[in-house]
Amino acid sequence: MIKVLFVCLGNICRSPLAEGLFRHHVMAHGLSDVIAIDSAGTGAWHIGNPPDPRSIQTALGHGIDIGGQRARKVTTSDFDDFDYIIAMDHNNFLDLNTMKPPHGTADIQLLLSYDPEQPLSEVPDPYYGGDGGFAEVYTMVDQATEKFLAKLKDQHFR
């Protein structure tokens, strides 16, 4: 079993989309039994809350339901429990590396590092912008999670 955790700041906008889209790709590839998926935030403001309504609506527009997710904060044990911790932006990446305990084994990476065709290096925070930001985030997360899965398949499930 490979375990993957997607992380952003609030765990209500970007990482819930990443969790939902990656789960969608994993199901389409028939790998749901061998890849476990979760998401979390580096911040604590939204613990227990569902995703932002704009993330829920954007995903629903593509037939993906992320409404059942609830936000949680990254914990110390995540760094042992998960094989991959995938950060949405550079701040998340730096925060995760600061939080990581010495014994932590998780491989911490930026999501967009898996997409060589993506000019951006981080997924922008859409929280304070309009709905268009969510559509943009959806597209880049969709493409990057698909490519991340292709890499996982190549490395672990050939």
58 binds ligand 4NP (CB under 6 A): no
Residue 27 has φ and ψ, to the nearest 5°, of -65, -45
Question: Does residue 39 belong to the site contacting ligand 4NP (CB under 6 A)?
Answer: no
With contacts defined by CB under 6 A, name the span among 3-11, 22-30, 106-114, 150-158 that binds ligand 4NP: 3-11
By rule CB under 6 A, what string of x and - marks binding of each residue 89-128 to ligand 4NP?
Answer: ------------------------------------x-x-
* 133 belongs to the binding site for ligand 4NP (CB under 6 A): no
Q: Does 20 bind ligand 4NP (CB under 6 A)?
A: no
Q: Whose Cβ is closer to ligand 4NP: residue 39's or residue 115's?
A: 39
Is 8 catalytic? The answer is: yes
Write out the residues near ligand 4NP by the rule CB under 6 A.
Answer: 8-14, 45, 125, 127
Catalytic residues: 8, 14, 125
